Amino acid sequence: MTVGELRHNLSCFWRMAMAKARSQMQYRVNFIAHLITMVMTYGGQFAALWWLTQRFTTVGGWRFAEIVLLYALAILAWGFALTLFWSLVGFEDHVRMGNFDRALLRPINPLLTVLSNQSPIAGMGQFVFSIAAFLFAVQVAGIRLTAVKLGYLLLTALGGALILGAALLCVATLAFWTTRTYTFYWSLVYPARQLINYPVSIYHRAIQFVLTVLLPFAFINYFPAHVLLDRVRELPMPFLAWATPLMGVVSITAAYGFWKFGTRRYTSTGN
């Protein structure tokens, strides 16, 4: 793809995504209700975590504020992932109804057409909440912020979003064979995301291996949190703490390869 083609693709994607954002903002009450629900859900999770750490002091050696940091990193990455990739969860509708034909006929990358069905303001609530949680964690856990740490935080959020996006892209690709995405998301990806709300070190070694190598969600928050907490040396392989951006790129590249393979399997349902 040339630079000109890339610019054309991204320009079309941005226009379609903004049109979607404008249409979503027509339903203001729904949007606000969604925000309130999200705040209540995360608030509930924090309350449960607070009660647990009140009773048991630490979870696998991690204090309340440190686990809040894990939450903050996970929510921040999820905010970016929602903004860019959430429409993939509903991709089964495109396959079942044959709407993917439209994406294939447009003069831009078909994946960008699918992604542009998602409003770019979808992750707004997550951003606000994660920043608040992060500031709280910084304050209570006594994190010393430096320019390097802040820069790496941003890279971590983007890398984490790419890892989550890769998972969603794989789920969407499965629709070419199974015409299902919602089931795979809610049954596999959603609960797997909840695993990283706690330090990965509390799980059995086999699960730690899965979360590091096969489904590398540990890179979204657990490993980079060691950088922010100045605990990199505690890791058996310290370089993992710095590997989130690389893991994000590797994950999304592999998932895109799977997607390209899947699109060759697509058979339209006709008109």
Partner 1 sequence: MGVFAAFVAQGFRQQAAYKVEGWMGIASGLIWFVLFAGLWTALLRDDPVALERQMRYVVATRLLADLSLLPTWEIAEKFRMGDVGLELIKPVPLPVRIMGDFLGRSLFRALRTLPVYVLIWLALGLAAPGAADVLLFLGSALLGWAISASFQVSLTLIALWTTQFNEAENLWELLSSLFSGEFIPLYYLPAWIGALAAYLPFAGTFFVPSAILAGTLTGPELWRAIGLQVLWALAGCGILAGMWHAGQRKLTMQGG
List residues near partner 1 by CB under 8 A: 33, 36-37, 40-41, 44-45, 47-48, 51-52, 54-56, 59-60, 178, 180, 183-184, 186-188, 190-192, 194-195, 198, 202-204, 207
Question: Is 77 within 8 Å of 221 (Cβ atoms)?
Answer: yes
Angle of CA points 108, 113, 116, to nearest 5°? 130
> Quick one: 187 or 268, whose CB is closer to partner 1?
187
Helices (H), the chain: 3-24, 28-56, 64-85, 91-97, 100-105, 110-115, 124-141, 147-178, 182-184, 190-195, 205-209, 222-228, 244-263
Least distance from C-beta 177 to partner 1, angstroms?
Answer: 11
The secondary structure of residue 234, as a DSSP letter, is G
Least distance from C-beta 199 to partner 1, angstroms?
Answer: 8
> Quick one: 182 or 242, whose CB is closer to partner 1?
182
Handedness of CA 69, 71, 74, 77 (dihedral sign): negative
> Quick one: 190 or 261, whose CB is closer to partner 1?
190
Least distance from C-beta 197 to partner 1, angstroms?
Answer: 8
Reading the block at residue 232, the tokens are 């990199």
> Quick one: 55 or 144, whose CB is closer to partner 1?
55
**For residues 238 and 258, what is the distance between their CA atoms, to the nearest angstrom?**
30
Least distance from C-beta 263 to partner 1, angstroms?
Answer: 22
CA separation (Å) from 269 to 94, 96, 179? 10, 7, 11
Question: Is 92 within 8 Å of 179 (Cβ atoms)?
Answer: yes
SS3 for 62? strand
Least distance from C-beta 148 to partner 1, angstroms?
Answer: 31
Least distance from C-beta 51 to partner 1, angstroms?
Answer: 5
> Quick one: 194 or 269, whose CB is closer to partner 1?
194
> Quick one: 44 or 151, whose CB is closer to partner 1?
44
